Amino acid sequence: MELAVATLVNALALSSIYIVVALGFVLVFGILNILNIAHGAIYMISGYIGWQLVMGFGLNQWLGLLLTVLVVGALGIFLEKFCFRPQAGDFNRTLIVCVAIVMILQTTIVVTVGYKVQSLPAFASGILRAGPLSVSAERLVTFLISTALLAVMVWLINRTKLGQQIQAIAQNREGAGLQGININRISGLTCAMGCGLAAVAGCLMGAYLNLGAFMGDYILVKALMIVILSGIGSIGGIFFAGLIIGGLDATLPVFLSGAISQAIAVGIIVIVMVFRPRGFFGREMEM
Amino acid sequence: MERRRLLTLIGGICLILIMVVLPFMTACAEEKPTGEAETLQLGYLVSLTGWFAPLDILQFEECDTLCQIINEQGGVTVDGQQYYLELVAEDCKSSLEGVTAACNRLVLDKGLKLIIGPVAFFSSAAAPVCEANQALHVLGYSCRTPGELDTTTPYGFLAHNGAIGNAMALCEYLKAKHPEIKSIVCTSIDDGAIPYLEPVIDKYFEDNGIDVVGSWIPFATDQVDFSPIAARIKAVDADAIYLERGSVEHIAPCFKAVRELGDERFFFTSSTCACEDIITIAGEDLAYNYAANQPISGAPDNPPLLEELITRLTNKYGTTRSMWFQTTNAVYELVQVIQAAQSLDPTVLKDYWEKMDTIETPFGTGRLGGLETYGIRHAVSHPLPVNVLDENGNIHFGGWYEVYVP
């Protein structure tokens, strides 16, 4: 029973983080049509920005989180205007730009902070106990923040004018432009939102786990797996796939060795790609 | 036209200046000693990228610091010729294929016959290249997997206790300081070495009155979230938790995950993870009841060289950090063998080294052994320090423990 509860809490916390990151990735891909492989590096640098604000400048971790989101959001606007927009329509050049961004961000951390393991202070300390059951307050807070953020994003995309504009561009870029939607402005805002989501995830994971210069590689793979499983253009699919991937990552190592559990998770992705290339809920992918 | 000629002239002058000034600046920047001393290049296999990089790069920095100390003391002298040490690093990319490629570059492309590292199970990928070319390779660590250090590696030497020796030291620590611990649950990195280590290490603990409950719980090399591992650990009824091998990126998060599940059992590891790293990752509230192989500055009976290394690293890198000194052992011992044998020939050095009974290490006097464990008497065992976080979260030195791997 104790093991089951612990595993369930782990699965929910992990899934929520994965979904936040994947949602940011999908936003950029859906609107800008860019496979932003720098998303993991942005997630990583966000964690370190939060760490520097909290540990270096002594800010409260919540204020640090907010400032990090603003800083990284501004970075997203910069990236969209100067890195992605000029390469619009050229997949190869976009890929090279993303690789360059990854290398710059990772090398910056390696040179300035080094390889020593770091961690953000917990957003909530303590352990909640109920008889033999124990749950870390940090994990619960991570899950709650991620869930709340996802709810806000769903509301924003489905219920606001901005969200409608985002959906219009995702469906038909030219048509949206002809309808008077400012494509560049919406693209910039979407990229900012995507990076902001990565920032939240980076700070939360920096406290939940730890910070490392290459931590973004791991989360990028998870985001790609979720996008593949869910399919392009499906926000609901992101939630479904995120729960699957997070659940597998939290559950399989309990019963199997680490390497086998990861192989099984990847194997599932491969099988889905073979029998349903567009994912569970998606449309055909256009590059 | 005139403007174009002027720009061309300026560009040409700048180019000439750069070509003349740059080498001059480079030569001035290098602090190479003058005189007749030559450079002794030691090939160094290090993972500069990938999951093993955080650990390996720390070790490279430690090794580099040792080389500076040795060079300041006059380097190495062989047959009247003075040599200053230089580490020539190649990236192993945290993979066996990367190790083989890096070793090929060092041995075949650069012609180096004295190779330092790699550490852990990666050694099995370097051995074929070194053995085929009769290059002496000094390992920083061994996981006892086939091909790392055995009868097929006559040119291989293990300069450090390795997984087995480290486990022995922690077992001795438990016997001395925690006699109440009679059973342990073990977890370790799933790098393929568990089948070769589990029987030996389990037997040593059990021969010393400590039961190992169940099989070892493996975790992936790139495991990030240790919550599932912690859940498995908590489900096992044992007095203490033993993380047999891992890097700081494994040990600290695993410790944190264990404590977050409310598991307050004593947690020890025969790898290296500084208590300060545990406090940084897990937080002060959760950092207690922990022990690891880790030297600390100012500890009683610290050899002078070890103290010097710790001080220099702390001063240079500005922070307390986990210190391994595995490849540092390798370089230090190799230098002694070179000095004693008065030769740079790998075969001469091999023959000399395997006849030695003792050799000095930064940790104290080491003894040659390993015939029973590895099949070849090429392993050095040396004393190990233990660093402790007590039940109140205070850091203190847990003592020195003598180790001999037969």
Q: What is the mean pLDDT of residues B334-359?
A: 96
The answer on pLDDT for A284 being more than 60 is no
Q: Number of CB pairs < 8 Å for A and B?
A: 107
pLDDT tens-digit map of B368-397: 999 999 999 999 999 999 999 999 989 999
Kindly state the DSSP code that residue A118 receives in the 8-state scheme.
B
Percent of chain A with pLDDT over 70: 97
CB–CB of B223 and A127 under 8 A? Answer: no
**Which of B220, B230, B234 is the closest to A258 by Cβ?**
B220
pLDDT value at residue A283: 59
The answer on pLDDT for B25 being more than 70 is no
With CA atoms as reference, the chain B residue closest to A251 would be B228
Q: How far apart are CA A84 and CA A97, in angstroms?
A: 8
With CA atoms as reference, the chain B residue closest to A140 would be B260
Tell me the fold of B38-158+326-361.
Rossmann fold (3.40.50)
CB–CB of A254 and B223 under 8 A? Answer: no
The answer on pLDDT for B30 being more than 60 is no
CA terminus-to-terminus distance, chain B: 83
User: Taking CB atoms and an 8 Å cutoff, what residues of chain A touch B51?
Assistant: 214
Query: Does any CB of chain B come closer than 8 Å to the CB of residue A2?
Result: yes
Chain A 23-82, residues with CB within 8 Å of chain B CB atoms: none
Q: What is the dihedral of CA A146, A149, A150, A154, to 10 degrees?
A: 180
CB–CB of A262 and B317 under 8 A? Answer: no
pLDDT tens-digit map of B265-300: 999 999 989 999 999 899 888 999 999 998 888 899
The residue extents of the domains of chain A are: 2-216
pLDDT value at residue A188: 92
pLDDT tens-digit map of A138-176: 888 888 888 899 889 888 888 999 888 888 888 888 888
pLDDT tens-digit map of A245-273: 999 888 888 888 767 777 888 888 888 88
Residue to substitute from B49, B57, B222, B227, interface A, most A β-carbons within 10 A = B227
- Where residue B319 falls among pLDDT bands split at 50, 70, 90? low
pLDDT tens-digit map of B213-238: 999 999 988 888 898 899 899 999 99
Choices 3.40.50.2300, 2.40.30.10, 3.40.190.10, 3.40.50.2020: CATH for B164-300+386-401: 3.40.50.2300
Give me B110's structure tokens. 């650069």
- Where residue B21 falls among pLDDT bands split at 50, 70, 90? low
pLDDT value at residue A287: 39
Query: Does any CB of chain B come closer than 8 Å to the CB of residue A180?
Result: no
Q: Do domains B38-158+326-361 and B164-300+386-401 have the same CATH topology?
A: yes
Q: What is the mean pLDDT of residues B80-108?
A: 95
Q: What is the dihedral of CA B32, B37, B43, B44, to 10 degrees?
A: -50
pLDDT value at residue B113: 96
Is B169:B270 a contact under the CB 8 Å cutoff? Answer: yes
pLDDT tens-digit map of A172-201: 888 888 888 888 899 999 999 999 999 999
The residue extents of the domains of chain B are: 38-158+326-361, 164-300+386-401
Q: How far apart are CA B366 and CA B357, in angstroms?
A: 9
Query: Does any CB of chain B come closer than 8 Å to the CB of residue A129?
Result: yes
pLDDT value at residue B35: 56
**Which of B54, B231, B283 is the closest to A212 by Cβ?**
B54
